[in-house]
Amino acid sequence: MDEVVEVTGLEKAYGPLRAVGGIDFTVHGGEVFAFLGPNGAGKTTTVEILEGLRPRTGGEVRVLGLDPWTELGRLKQRIGVLPQDFHYFPKSTPREAVRLYARLFGEVVDEDALLGRVELSDKADDHFDTLSGGQHQKLGVALALVNDPEVCFLDEPTTGLDPRARRSIWEVIRGLRRAGKAVFLTTHYLEEAELLSDRISIIDSGRLVATGAPEEIIARFGRAERLRVTGGPELVGHLRGLGYAVEGDEGGVEIELRTRGDALRILETIDLSGLPWTSFSTKRETLEDVFIRLVGKLDNGTVRLGDKAEVPA
Amino acid sequence: MKLRHVAVYFPTFARGYLRNPLGLFMSLIFPVILILIFGAVFSNSGVSRVALTVENLDGNSPASVQFLNALNDTGVLSVAMVDPSVGDLSTYLSHHSLSAGLVVPSGFAANVTSHRPVHLLVYTNPTSSVGGIVLGAVNGVTNGFNLRLANGTVVLSTVALNVGGQTYAYIDYFVPGLIGFSILVSPMFSMVNISSTWKRDKLFRQLSLTPLSRAEWLTATLVWYVVLAAVSAAMLSAVGVLVFGAHVTLTWLALPFLVAGPILFVAIGLLAGSASGTPESAAVIGNVITFPMMFLSGTFFPVAVFPSWLQTVARFLPLYYVIDGLNAGMVFNNPGAVATDALIVFALALVASLAAVRVFSWRES
């Protein structure tokens, strides 16, 4: 697959502060790539460097083969950007905004269709300063799509949106993917990243701590799948006696599964033992569990990825 | 630079301005209100007289009445009589907050007839500017009386004429002054506000994501303020001529200032706004630049009435050359003076624009 974003050894410093400390990743055409990290990790700095809004201190960056800082004029014809804290002219309407963008980009755009795509048709002729925060975001997404971009950078596109509006933006992102566009997504909602992304990078204190498909990251950094059986406290002793790693409480037991077959064997053992039990379930860690563990560990200082003192942006 | 981009973006900027009633009021309506107020206040300035309070202790003798009539006929003084029973005139003037007074002594007529010295007491307030006018007028009339009593012949006399063969009134200077005010205030306040609040709201970042360039944005903005200045100049000239009969003409000689003036003040506003950290501090910097320049450049009063050191200060202010040039063009129809002022304003506009383009950035570091 084509590499539409190539980042090698990217560094960004603000005076003595290092916001991004040498990171590498690539984004392929037609994929949704989520870039995750806690506040101040260097996310927005990285995105803004890719969008050509900030210069880098070191490393190489190519978006669609172009240097975003020196070749922005050519690049912005081919990318769409929803920046963080999107604002527009207070006395302009969404329809006027889309029309202005279309004319500047030299595109013929069906304004109603585009605004309908982000569920903003009923507010098409209202002034920006009368719209809600969520409606602002929707207009930002619409403007990012005006020039039919090959790569779309969406920095927290669903922040402040209600669940229904969030789903409509998800649908826009899925549509872009289906159309073969690349989406570079930054979000605080990890379930959103897990649901939408083909690949993910997690950045913390200016360094990448994990990159890969969501399931790969969960498999690599998450705890093993667990089987929970509700029943009496005597189950704990019985299973431990058979050599299983068991954690028990008053409501039942939890057993770490090394293989899928473990679940069948354990349930058969319990059933044959005659001990009382009522139900069972399996529990798999989510991306959020993994994210919190990865970033939390770093925050606690128990995992060191480098010996330089990194300062968040 | 693509003119198509300028043309496409221009309506967005214009609409934003037109939909903001406060901005529109400050740019177009406020100067008209000012011309109506100042025009009404000063429309009679050419014939205003200084009140002179007179206590005649000579019992309205024919000679004293003739003398007082002569004072009234100067056209400079307006004689107001008080009864001699008021006593000391100096005390009376103080109690009634009056600036000038005259005592005609008892025996005035008899002494004049017998050619004996008469001392007229003239009271003036040293803190008031009318003292010189009163003394000059009273001395003039007294000298005329002395000449006649001595049977002298008038050898030297003066004929008063107006510059350019035309009568100039305050309103004639005020119209170009207010057009200068309009050229200064709209771009300065707007650009200080825009360059700070748009930066805070990241609107420049948003524009930088489109094909519109900084130069195209600046051109569209300049065009808007030139249009605004032209509309304001037309409105102020119309009100000046139709309401107050001002002798001004909106000639092509005003054009250089209606173009270079807004460019100059857009650039200065952009510099001031870019130099400040927050919209609040930008507003303060904008006021600090605008208000002294507004008062010292001849907006409300001709610079010629200032003390000489203040006139020197005024020559360091860009607005001075805008107003001086508008005056030269619109009132005196003097292309030579217009050319000099226009050259200075264009040069200042060029320097300020280059500095603004250098300092003002859309992207962040």
Q: What is the pLDDT of residues A288-307, one digit of tens each?
A: 888 888 887 544 443 333 33
- Three-state SS for A83-100 is CCCCCCCCCCCHHHHHHH
Query: Looking at residue B281, what is its pLDDT?
Result: 86
Cα–Cα distance measured from residue B323 to residue B340, given in angstroms and rounded to the nearest whole number? 13
User: Taking residues A11-30, what's their average pLDDT?
Assistant: 93
Considering the domain delimited by A224-283, tell me its CATH architecture: 2-Layer Sandwich (3.30)
Helix/strand/coil for A81: strand
User: Taking residues B245-258, what's their average pLDDT?
Assistant: 92
pLDDT in tens, A113-143: 999 999 999 999 999 999 998 899 999 999 9
CB contact under 8 A, B12 and A127: no
Phi, psi of B228 (to 5 degrees): -60, -40
CB contact under 8 A, A87 and B209: no
Minimum-distance CB partner of A83 among B16, B202, B210? B202
CB contact under 8 A, B12 and A89: yes
| Max avg pLDDT among B155-169, B221-235, B278-292 | B221-235
Please say whether the beta carbons of B147 and B125 come within 8 A.
no
Same domain, residue pair B213 and B340: yes
> Tokens in use for B122?
């003239």
**Model confidence at B154: pLDDT above 80:** no
Cβ–Cβ contact B364 with A under 8 A:
yes
Cα–Cα distance measured from residue B268 to residue B260, given in angstroms and rounded to the nearest whole number? 12
Same domain, residue pair B173 and B256: yes
Residues ≥6 apart with Cβ < 8 Å to A86: A136, A137, A139, A140, B202, B206
Same domain, residue pair B179 and B35: yes
Chain B CB contacts of A127 under 8 Å are: 19
Query: Looking at residue A283, what is its pLDDT?
Result: 85
Cα–Cα distance measured from residue A78 to residue B325, given in angstroms and rounded to the nearest whole number? 49
In angstroms, the separation between the Cα of residue A266 and the nearest Cα of chain B is 59
When scoring A50, A91, A152, A154 by the number of chain B Cβ atoms within 10 A, the one with the most, hence best to mutate, is A91
Cβ–Cβ contact B199 with A under 8 A:
no
- A174 confidence band (pLDDT: 50, 70, 90): very high
> Tokens in use for A209?
């701590």
- B165 confidence band (pLDDT: 50, 70, 90): low
Query: Looking at residue B45, what is its pLDDT?
Result: 52
Mean pLDDT computed over every residue of chain B: 88
Chain A CB contacts of B210 under 8 Å are: 76, 100-101, 104-105
Minimal Cα distance from B199: which residue of A? Answer: A87
Check residues A203 and A308 and name the one with the higher pLDDT: A203
**Which segments of B34-126 are extended strands (E)?**
50-56, 77-82, 100-104, 121-124
CB contact under 8 A, A101 and B210: yes
Mean pLDDT computed over every residue of chain A: 88
Domain coordinates of chain A in residue numbers? Answer: 3-78+149-220, 224-283
CB contact under 8 A, B203 and A100: no
Query: Looking at residue A180, what is its pLDDT?
Result: 93
Minimum-distance CB partner of A100 among B8, B208, B365? B8
Chain B CB contacts of A85 under 8 Å are: 202
Same domain, residue pair B15 and B92: no
Query: What string of DSSP letters covers A262-301?
Result: HHHHHHHHHHHHT--EEEEEEE---HHHHHHHHHHHHHHT
Cα–Cα distance measured from residue A50 to residue A68, given in angstroms and rounded to the nearest whole number? 6
Query: Looking at residue B233, what is its pLDDT?
Result: 96
| Max avg pLDDT among B244-248, B299-303, B304-308, B348-352 | B348-352
Cβ–Cβ contact B22 with A under 8 A:
no
pLDDT in tens, B122-144: 998 877 677 888 888 999 999 98
- Interface size A-B, in CB pairs within 8 Å, comes to 62
| B114, B133, B163 - which closes a domain | B163
Chain B CB contacts of A88 under 8 Å are: 203, 206
**Out of A161-170, A191-200, B211-220, which region has the weakest mean confidence (pLDDT)?**
A161-170
In angstroms, the separation between the Cα of residue B240 and the nearest Cα of chain A is 34
Question: Is residue B152, in this structure, part of any structural domain at all?
Answer: yes
Helix H or strand E segment including A11: strand A3-14
Cα–Cα distance measured from residue B260 to residue B322, given in angstroms and rounded to the nearest whole number? 9
Please say whether the beta carbons of A222 and A292 come within 8 A.
no
Minimum-distance CB partner of A103 among B8, B206, B365? B8
Domain at A3-78+149-220, CATH from 3.30.470.20, 3.40.190.170, 2.60.40.10, 3.40.50.300:
3.40.50.300
Please say whether the beta carbons of B219 and B262 come within 8 A.
no
Helix, strand, coil % (nearest 5) of chain B? 70, 5, 25
Minimal Cα distance from A83: which residue of B? Answer: B206
Query: Looking at residue B206, what is its pLDDT?
Result: 93
Same domain, residue pair B238 and B106: no
Minimum-distance CB partner of A88 among B206, B208, B363? B206
Please say whether the beta carbons of B309 and B316 come within 8 A.
no
Minimal Cα distance from A51: which residue of B? Answer: B209
Q: Please report, for the domain that includes residue B101, its CATH number.
A: 3.40.1710
Minimal Cα distance from B6: which residue of A? Answer: A104
| B118, B141, B163 - which closes a domain | B163
Q: Of B33, B18, B25, B45, nearest to B239 (Cα)?
A: B33
In angstroms, the separation between the Cα of residue B356 and the nearest Cα of chain A is 20
Question: Is residue B255, in this structure, part of any structural domain at all?
Answer: yes
Same domain, residue pair B34 and B71: no
Minimum-distance CB partner of A87 among B19, B202, B210? B202
pLDDT in tens, A57-76: 999 999 999 999 999 999 99
Cα–Cα distance measured from residue B279 to residue B197, given in angstroms and rounded to the nearest whole number? 6
> Tokens in use for A134?
């969520």
Domain range enclosing B242:
3-43+169-359
Total structural domains in chain B? 2
Query: Looking at residue B324, what is its pLDDT?
Result: 94
User: Taking residues A152-168, what's their average pLDDT?
Assistant: 90
| B163, B180, B202 - which closes a domain | B163
Cβ–Cβ contact B212 with A under 8 A:
yes
- B48 confidence band (pLDDT: 50, 70, 90): low
**Model confidence at B163: pLDDT above 80:** no
Chain B CB contacts of A54 under 8 Å are: 363-365
Query: Looking at residue A99, what is its pLDDT?
Result: 97
Same domain, residue pair B93 and B16: no
- B162 confidence band (pLDDT: 50, 70, 90): low
